[in-house]
Structure 1
Amino acid sequence: MTTVALLGNPNTGKTTLFNELTDKYAYVGNWTGVTVEKKMGKIKHSEIEVVDLPGVYSLSPITKDEAVVTNYLLTNRPDLVLNVTNASQLKRNLLLSIEVLEFGAPVIIALNMIDDLKRTGHYYDFDTLTEQLGCQVKATNARNKEGLDDLRTALLQGPQPTGKKLQLTYPFMIEQAIRQASQQLVSDFDLTADFARWLTIQFINQNKSIRAYAKHMQLTPLMSQAAYYDAQKFDDQIFQTRLTFIEQTLNQASENIASTSHIQMTAKIDKWITHPLLGLPVFVGIFFLMFKLSFDWVGTPMSDLLDGFLSGPVSTTASHLLTAAGAIPILRSLVVNGLIAGVGGVLVFIPQIFVLFACISLLEDSGYMARAALVTDRIMQMIGLNGKAFIPLIIGFGCNVTGIMAARTIEQPKERLITTLISPFMSCSARLPIYSLFVAAFFPRNQALIVLSIYFLGIAVALGMAKIYQILFNVKDSSVFIVELPQYHLPRLDIIWRGTWDKGKGFIKKAGTIIFAGTVLIWLLSSFGTSGLVSDIDNSFAAMLGKGLLPLFAPLGITTWQVISALFTGILAKEVISSSMMVMFHTANQTGLIAMMARYFTPLSAYATLVFILLYVPCFATIGTIKSETGSTKWALYSVVSSLAIAYGLALIIYQVGSLFI
């Protein structure tokens, strides 16, 4: 099978191009770290396999995701490399292209975002680029599907002769070192000439992965000269040689064609969006608008309609059908009061969740999210981190698991650990159903404001803990934050829909698996006790658990055991909390549950409970991810204990202090 390796710098539209070529959707974002593993697909109507590798600036890896690319090239020999570049940022992008071309495999360079290049008033002569780079060069605009047919045809045809392969001539001493080492590698280790030369250049350039590979393979022609290469500072000379070649090539190929009105418009918008003082209020305002759409204007009215349908016609029809079929009472109770009430009680929040995800996808596709990272970088620097650490936190709004995995892009181990430990404090989408219940019951006029305060409280706690960890871990070194600000785009509806569906489908899958299982579990716990099947839920196992812990939760304003038992199921998955409450309060719809909650909560105790739910023990999936990413059970257990302590302490302070003024 023919294999095409797809690689390039972050923010070149590489993943979008992968989706269009393979007809397989993968997550798209405007920052480094979204693609942390290689993804695979086949070009439409062919047997050509495409491997989507993480976005990197160089083959010299600093982070885990960058190491994926270099290790892939070391252990695989792709038939073709598709190098995706940002057409308007070629001077920087071609630094990676040169490393790829020196690898020796056939290469096609895609100048993506060609429309952005044209808006700058510049263009390139493709014949000149092809001649200088020694490979095919294609113009594409993946967002608008321009140039994709030509690129797909080139991929299907395979490598085409373009003349002489690229082989830069480095300074005399470096060339001599390359020639001597590569010749020995060819003769002593049976390597190809191209691969031997590439290995030598990367080794001289202090590529850590290559040096580890050379040590493992005992490549003595390289290992024996390492000290000499480093002492001569050959890596600086290699960089300067490549940069000079790129500048000369682009000067020869450059053409002027038009005005720069779009660039000027982007600069004017950024003057306000990324302003040192105004940038943060704009960020907060945008998120407030998102929550107004999700909870006040669009999401909640749609959720109310869905709730009426599930708790009315669906529940009634199921009950009649089971009765007509002669089902025993306990089976009817399981289906109607357990599954339909529990799972349905979670599904009614799908509109709110999908509206929120649609807003996030819109911000990503427009180009704003990169600006958000830049704006928050100033805050992150105050606590010893930077905007790169905030990117996993933003991703954590969707799911803490993917947010923690995105922390792989952080170079410094201590910074990466800190980001992993604070990520569970970010309010993931799984908590939205329980937020919706509480704000609808106790804050009907300020739903968006209350949810926004919860989200930003999670951010504040995360940043505060990050500062504490920075002091405790004695963090001195910090990562370099590089963010590319793409030009603004009019969002495409298909991309917004794909992004919304990709983020939201996990919630629906959970409803059919984890939430289903959790609902059955809580129904069993609330229907059985020490004496077997119970008619009074107060005698059930769930009641025994909740009542036993009631004195511990009373200082938080939680005065009913049903809520405490539901919080335990939230460790399985946060979405299960609302379905568990539906089952244990014996309500068939959201309206009935809200009425029951009004008996046991005040607005103050409700808010304290929301704070506790925001911060307490992460779900099982998040705990497992912390263990796998840190390689330590100790940190996973620490995350459980510390988050529980922080949640309890903060909820206690809010309720007790608030009680003094009410």
Structure 2
Amino acid sequence: MRLSELETGQKGMIVKVLGHGGFRRRIIEMGFIKGKTVEVILNAPLKDPVKYKIMGYEVSLRRQEAAMIEVVSEEEARTQNNEDTFLKPITQNTPVPEETMRRLARGKRRTINVALVGNPNCGKTSLFNVASGGHEHVGNYSGVTVDAKEGHFDFQGYHFRLVDLPGTYSLSAYSPEELYVRKHIIEETPDVIINVVDAGNLERNLYLTTQLIDMNVRMVIALNMYDALEHSGNKLNIHGLSELLGVPIVPTVSRTGRGVDNLFHVIIGLYEGADFMGQKKEIKNEVLREFREWHDQCVQGHKYEGPKEEDPFAHQSFIRHIHINHGPEIEASIDAVKKEICKNDNIRHEYSTRFLAIKLLENDKDIESRVVAPLPNGKDILAVRDKEAERLKRAVNEDSEQAITDAKYAFISGALKETYTETNTNTEAFTRVVDSIVTHRIWGFPIFFIFLYIMFEATFVLGAYPQAWIEWLVELIGTGVEHFMSPGPLKDLVIDGIIGGVGGVIVFLPNILLLYLFISFMEDSGYMARAAFIMDKIMHKMGLHGKSFIPLIMGFGCNVPAIMASRIIESRKARLVTMLINPLMSCSARLPIYLVLIGAFFPSKASLVLLSIYAIGILLAVLMARVFTRFIVKGDDSPFVMELPPYRMPTAKVVARHTWDKGKQYLKKMGGIIMIASIIIWFLGYYPNHEAYATTAEQQENSYIGRLGKAIEPAIEPLGFDWKMGIGILSGVGAKELVVSTLSVLYTNEDDVENINLSERIPITPLAAYGYMLFVLIYFPCIATIAAIRQESGSWKWAAFAALYTTALAWIVSFAVYQIGSLF
């Protein structure tokens, strides 16, 4: 609990002090030190401030400041003690011994909250995975992590809670990621921030570092991909750069885990107070002596071990809070705005006032509306800001936002000039050679489409063998159940409902895995970013953005994360249109439907037919994007700015893990929504009066699901579909895999059918089959996709619009294909 929650007369033991550096330093200097007992003496008449007794003297704090101090109360200690059967119970009226409270506080202090912050494509999620053992996907292009991911692990007797924040280039209010990261740092107040920096792109990555320094947070820099810097032959004086920045720098190689232990040793040092030993500067054993004794006493079986000197990654780092020098003119303006902000003492516990002043001079609208406007002197602060911004414009001949950005890059350039030596200028030769081929104005597009064709061909050819094995296994299970179970509804449920429904979908697991294998390779290698690069002009003609291509390609895997990935697009207009057309990208859940129908009606031209389905989805997306940007969605375009990372050969482990993670999600669907839906569909097709009809076909037609199918049949009959295919379409609203399982259940019960393969039991023409595939491609996205559109757009209006327009478009396209095709 927090100190502000204690009542008058209650005691608590301090666990940790939260908040940014300046606030923490002031509170700790007042005596609020971890492991000390604090007692609430009295409240002011208006309940604020509150007088506390600590270390033998009395001190007052406002409640909002006390809320930043985590404590263990007597009641918590009593409850925890009484739950332990090996300890003597403490009655309600008996004071809790101080040692009991201290023991509980020590246990809670073993949890360290760490946030990972860094540019897109700096290896942040790789570091998260190697540290936490998590399985988050890592892609070699910006914007993979579209939400915060949390992981846990234990190290040196401490429990680490890691949060992988979205990749961002700065802490401005330009994109949702920037706002999200800034909000997390301020509101969640992590104990330590790991600023992940790409060792190969120091100048660009360190811009975010300078903004974190402005926030005055406890931070360590993970100099990631350090092996690439070593192999390049270029030299970096890590010790010197650490001294200039005032931040510990630890080289890491997240792909192999090299340096990660040292990183968390330094984090432990920061957490335990090494940042308050700034005068001594260097992190040495004597700096850590303050908590070494505590660690050895309280963490049984874990003697503290610092970085080993023989480790080439071991080094000395500096910890001291610095101010980035923006030059005399800008610094004068920062001081003027900061002086006006500092008239509000109640804001210091949450924000660095210097950070607020800089953000205001950068015209940050979010800071203006959320932080400054509610302050009593908010108008005065903005007036001072406007006055200083105008003065700066006259003094430096550019607006204040640009002047601050230039000053930060000048600081970074100066720091690197002192510490970085570039001896090899040919490190990017391989990337340039490959780019000259895959982004060629003539060969770039054919190479991309050839790669897609190979992907689809492999999905069919290579996937056919394991698919046949799974089909054999499903058939064997069905035969076994047929032999051992007694006739009756339960037997029919197991064979026709569960095995027929789930088995009809699970056979396509190998094809799904192969599709994700190719997509993962494109992402991890860096080729996906090139695909966005070569498609930008086409995207721009559609009224979209080159970055829109990444979520659209991701839609081939699953529309839900693809829609979430649209956050990487800065323009709201382009982001919204991308979300609306993303369902037209054929996700992997639709693939089993195509495989069934193509295998039955187009076996000799399987890959070309499948490619045509995907191509039609893309063409429709282009057409609808043009319509939406011109007539429906309004807004301004944003410039195309996107990082093209160097090519990296994906490791087999990462690609395999990503592919298998998607496979596990598919299997979970088999045992969850698809099994439940298959049972419901079987029930609706089995009842009422199952025994009252001469044939199964007649019984199904008069069942609940038959009546529903007959009701919608007039609407789909012009498309060449029967009522059973209509039920398949309805079931696909929940999840597209349900279409195959539904057809498996419905067509399994045909009396005159001897074929085991579902594709040979559907009585339609090839033209109707093609139209059915197009309908499934286009119509109502699954419920999860609709929910994702609502979440990302912030309105049910756009989610409902997506559901309605796709269904109407599906009917029109399928009608045109069937009716026009029938003429020939």
TM-score, with structure 1 as normaliser: 0.93
Shift of 1:259: 6.7
Deviates more, 1:582-591 or 1:235-244: 582-591
Q: Report deviation, 1:480.
A: 2.8
Find the aligned partners of 1:163 and 1:35 in 2 and give their Cα distance: 30
Q: Distance in 2 between matches of 1:478 and 1:118?
A: 41
Q: Which moved more, 1:188-197 or 1:579-588?
A: 188-197
1:341 aligned residue: 500
1:211 counterpart = 2:368: yes
Determine if contact 2:140/2:525 at 8 Å carries over to the other structure.
Answer: no
- Residue aligning to 1:7: 117
1:396 aligns with 2:559: no
The Cα shift of 1:184 comes to: 4.5
**Cα distance between partner residues in 1 of 2:180 and 2:633:** 29
Residue 476 of structure 1, CA deviation: 5.7
Equivalent residues in 2 for 1:192-341, closer than 5 Å: 195-215=352-372, 217-218=374-375, 220=378, 222-231=381-390, 232=393, 233-258=399-424, 260=426, 263-296=428-461, 298-311=462-475, 313-323=476-486, 329-341=488-500
Matches within 5 A, 1:344-359: 344-359=503-518
SS at match of 2:222: strand
SS of corresponding position for 1:143: coil
Closer, same or farther in 2 for the Cα pair 1:73/1:635, shift >3 Å?
A: same
User: 2:570 maps to which residue?
Assistant: 411
Cα separation, 2, equivalents of 1:153 and 1:179: 36
Amino acid at match of 1:582: S
Distance 2:253 2:777 in 1: 41
| Structure richer in helix, relative to its length | 1
8 Å contact kept, 2:528–2:550: no
- How has the CA–CA distance of structure 1 residues 453 and 420 changed in structure 2, closer, same or farther, with 3 Å as cutoff? same
Structure 2 Cα separation of the partners of residues 184 and 358 of structure 1: 56
Work out whether residues 415 and 475 of structure 1, in 8 Å CA contact, stay in contact via their aligned partners in 2: no
Residues 530-570 of structure 1: per-residue CA shift (max 9 Å, x gap): 88976522221222222333333232222x32111111111
Residues 21, 43 of structure 1: 8 Å contact kept: yes
The answer to whether the Cα contact below 8 Å between 1:81 and 1:108 also exists between their aligned partners in 2 is yes
**What's the secondary structure of 2:511's corresponding residue?**
helix
Q: Counterparts of 1:354-393 in structure 2 under 5 Å?
A: 354-393=513-552
Give, in angstroms, the shift of residue 198 of structure 1.
1.5
Is residue 396–residue 428 contact of structure 1 (8 Å, CA) maintained in 2?
A: yes
Identity %: 36
Q: CA separation of 1:115/1:465 partners in 2, compared to 1, >3 Å: closer, same or farther?
A: same
Q: For each residue in 1:555-586, what CA deviation from the matched residue of structure 2 results, as whole angstroms up to 9, or x when unmatched?
A: 2222x321111111111111011111111111
What CA distance in whole angstroms lies between the structure 2 residues aligned with 1:515 and 1:252?
Answer: 61
Given that 1:36 and 1:54 are in contact with CA atoms closer than 8 Å, whether structure 2 keeps it comes out as yes
Q: Which residue in the other structure is 2:267 paired with? A: 155
Among 767, 790, 803, the alignment partner of 1:640 is 803
- Using a 3 Å threshold, how does the CA distance of structure 1 residues 259 and 225 change in structure 2: closer, same or farther? closer
Task: List aligned pairs for 1:11-160, cutoff 5 A.
Answer: 11-45=121-155, 46-158=158-270, 160=274
Q: Whose relative contact order is higher, 1 or 2, with alpha carbons under 8 Å and at least 6 apart? A: 1
| 1:51 match: secondary structure | strand
State the TM-score, normalizing by the size of structure 2. Answer: 0.76
Cα gap change, 1:589/1:349 in structure 2, threshold over 3 Å: closer, same or farther? farther
1:527 to 676, 679, 686: 686
Match of 2:768 among 586, 602, 605: 605
Letter paired with 1:353: I
- Structure 2: runs of 5 or more not aligned: 1-110, 275-280, 282-317, 394-398
Distance 2:761 2:351 in 1: 73
5+ long unaligned stretches in structure 1: none
1:545 equivalent in structure 2? 708
Question: Helix, strand or coil for the counterpart of 2:593?
Answer: helix
Check whether the contact 1:118–1:257 (CA below 8 A) recurs between aligned residues.
Answer: no
Separation in structure 2 between the aligned mates of residue 533 and residue 10 of structure 1, nearest angstrom: 64
| Contact residue 308 and residue 589 of structure 1 kept, 8 A | no
Letter in 2 for 1:104: N
Contact in 2 for aligned 1:434/1:577 (Cα 8 Å): yes
The alpha-carbon deviation at position 475 of structure 1 amounts to 4.4
Q: Measured at CA, do residues 532 and 238 of structure 1 come closer, stay the same or move farther in structure 2, by a change above 3 Å?
A: farther
CA distance in 2, matches of 1:259, 1:175: 36
- C-alpha displacement at 1:188, in angstroms? 3.1
In structure 2, what residue type is equivalent to 1:81?
I
Q: Matched residues in 2 for 1:443 and 1:307: separation? A: 20
Once the two structures are TM-superposed, the CA of residue 119 in structure 1 deviates from its matched residue by 4.7
For structure 1, which segment, 530-539 or 441-450, has the greater mean C-alpha deviation from structure 2 after superposition? 530-539
The answer to whether the Cα contact below 8 Å between 1:85 and 1:111 also exists between their aligned partners in 2 is yes
More displaced 10-residue stretch of structure 1: 530-539 or 117-126: 530-539
Instruction: Go from structure 1 to structure 2 and tell me whether the alpha carbon gap of 1:215 and 1:167 turns closer, same or farther (over 3 Å shift).
Output: closer
What SS class does the counterpart of residue 818 from structure 2 fall into? helix
| Distance across 2 between alignment mates of 1:543 and 1:512 | 26
Range with greater deviation from structure 2 (176-185 or 452-461): 176-185
Aligned residue type for 2:141: W
Q: Distance in 2 between matches of 1:465 and 1:532?
A: 50
RMSD, aligned α-carbons: 2.3
1:244 aligned counterpart, secondary structure: helix
Query: Offset at 1:144?
Result: 3.0
- Report deviation, 1:590: 8.4
Larger Rg: 2
Amino acid at match of 1:172: P
Amino acid at match of 1:199: L
Instruction: Tell me which residue corresponds to 1:566.
Output: 728
- Mark the CA change 1:604 to 1:345 in structure 2 (over 3 Å): closer, same or farther: same
- After superposition, the C-alpha distances for 1:33-88 in whole angstroms (9 at most, x for unaligned) are 32222112224443122221111111002222221011122223222111111111
- How many Å separate the matches in 2 of 1:121 and 1:422? 46
